[in-house]
């Protein structure tokens, strides 16, 4: 089997999708075989037909596969960002745990006292 740009040998069209002529711009796979019956039965499979058959088997086109790879990379970047955030929060909690385990407590609330209200 080999790739050819044109289906030269008769019937000069795709054996799978006969409406695709032998000069289709995407090219053909020349199977190197003949259909039963002899003359004028050379078997070409167009690239279009091969891609369609592959899709029916669950294969992804290069474009679809690239889209999925891009999406996976975006998810991985978001996962890494969230992991960094979790690591920062864990460091804060560990610091609080160390202080509490040593018996340290706050004596007063941080910040300024609220202003007294006049009624």
- Shortest CA distance to 41 belongs to which of 3, 11, 7? 11
Say which residues have a Cβ less than 8 Å from residue 21's Cβ, sequence separation at least 6. Answer: 7, 12, 13
109: in domain: no
For 64, the domain range is 60-102
Domain shared by 9 and 51, yes or no: yes
Is residue 11 reached through a cis peptide bond, with omega within 30 degrees of 0 on the bond before it? yes
pLDDT of the residue at 106? 65
Residue 27: inside a domain: yes
Q: How many other CB atoms sit within 10 Å of the CB of residue 40? A: 11
- Quote the pLDDT of residue 44: 93
Total domain count for the chain? 2
pLDDT at residue 119 tops 70:
no
**Alpha carbons 118 and 68: distance in angstroms, whole number:** 64
112 within some domain: no
What band does 116 get if pLDDT is binned at 50, 70 and 90? confident
- Does 11 map to a domain? yes
The reply to whether 52 and 11 lie within a common domain is yes
pLDDT digits (tens, 9 = 90+) for 20-72: 999 999 999 999 888 876 667 889 999 999 999 999 999 998 889 999 999 99
Say what the pTM is.
0.55
Pair (91, 47) in one structural domain: no
């Amino acid at each position: 089997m080999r790739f050819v740009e044109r289906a030269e040998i008769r019937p000069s069209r795709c054996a799978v999708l006969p409406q695709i002529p032998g000069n289709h711009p995407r090219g053909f796979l020349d199977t190197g075989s003949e259909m039963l019956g002899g003359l004028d039965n050379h078997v070409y499979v167009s690239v279009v037909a091969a891609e369609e058959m592959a899709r029916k088997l669950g294969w992804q086109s290069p474009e679809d596969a690239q889209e999925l790879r891009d999406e996976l990379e975006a998810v991985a970047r978001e996962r890494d960002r969230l992991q960094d955030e979790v690591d920062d929060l864990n460091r804060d909690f560990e610091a609080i745990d160390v202080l509490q385990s040593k018996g340290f407590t706050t004596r007063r609330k941080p910040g300024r006292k609220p202003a007294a209200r006049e009624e």
